[in-house]
């Protein structure tokens, strides 16, 4: 019987390091012989993750223990989390979640059948509740991202977010100086550059803002 840890993070490396430290400290404090910790920087939307796949398919065996710091480090999709927990149970792998004290109790050592049943029920309820929290947090994050993108679009900053720019700011500035010198009208320049009006005036707005100039009336 071996003890393994698993920690997933979708952002900065320090989040991975934190999980590694917490699992190692818990095992050291409770004198548990930790074999290895599998960590990876991946989204929690699904379980299509290289390190986790290796852990489940090639490493864990019946009687082993898997330690995670929080339910959302396992995943952020409630249905998939519960499905995976059931799969681990079917494999006869014990799952310990450091944020849920009831999962840290070794039920196999309990002689009272009723008390064991009650603990199992509590564990299942808590795991389902925390899986719901994990999914809700993911949905809120995605909602904030969508709102941020829409706000950038409304401000004309979508190019900054990731859409390829039509042309560089310096090239536009050089071309727009012809308008300032009254060599061409904005409408003529727009046609020459092959820009849609919304794109042209978004570039013009950025240029004038950078130059601290008041936009002239559109022609």
Residue 76 · residue 44 · CB < 8 Å: yes
pLDDT band at 94 (very low <50, low <70, confident <90, very high): very high
* Residue 26: per-residue pLDDT: 95
pLDDT value at residue 133: 79
Question: Higher-confidence residue: 61 or 209?
Answer: 61
d(CA 71, CA 132): 10
What pLDDT is stored for residue 217 in this prediction?
Answer: 46
- What does DSSP assign to residue 92? T
What would the mean pLDDT of 140-144 be, rounded to a whole number?
82
Average pLDDT over the chain reads: 84
Contacts of 144 (CB under 8 A, 6+ apart): none
Question: Is 0.75 surpassed by the pTM of this model?
Answer: no
Strand order in the sheet with 34-41: 34-41, 3-9, 65-68, 94-97
- Judge whether residue 130 has pLDDT over 70: yes
Measured over the CA atoms of residue 176, residue 182, residue 185 and residue 186, the dihedral's sign is positive
**For residue 200, pLDDT beyond 60:** yes
pLDDT digits (tens, 9 = 90+) for 170-193: 888 999 999 999 899 988 898 888
Say if residues 127 and 97 touch (Cβ distance below 8 Å): yes
For 53-64, write each residue's pLDDT tens digit.
Answer: 999 999 999 999
């Amino acid at each position: 019987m071996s003890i393994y840890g698993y920690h997933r993070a979708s952002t900065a490396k320090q989040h991975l390091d934190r999980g590694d430290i917490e699992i190692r400290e818990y095992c050291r404090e409770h004198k548990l012989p930790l074999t290895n910790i599998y960590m990876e920087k991946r989204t929690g939307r699904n379980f299509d993750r290289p390190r986790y796949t290796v852990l489940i398919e090639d490493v864990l065996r019946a009687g082993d223990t898997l330690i995670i710091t929080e339910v959302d480090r396992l995943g952020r999709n409630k249905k998939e989390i519960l499905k995976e927990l059931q799969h681990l149970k079917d494999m006869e792998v014990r799952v310990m979640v450091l944020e849920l004290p009831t999962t840290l109790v070794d039920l196999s050592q309990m002689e009272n059948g009723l008390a064991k049943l009650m603990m199992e029920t509590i564990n299942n309820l808590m795991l389902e509740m925390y899986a719901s929290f994990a999914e809700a947090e993911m949905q809120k994050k995605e909602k904030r991202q969508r709102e941020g993108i829409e706000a950038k679009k409304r401000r004309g900053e979508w190019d900054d977010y990731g859409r390829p720019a039509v042309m560089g700011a310096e090239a536009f500035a050089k071309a727009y100086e012809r308008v300032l010198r009254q060599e061409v009208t904005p409408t003529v320049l727009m046609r020459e550059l092959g820009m849609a009006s919304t794109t042209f005036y978004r570039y013009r707005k950025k240029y004038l803002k950078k130059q601290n100039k008041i936009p002239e009336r559109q022609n």
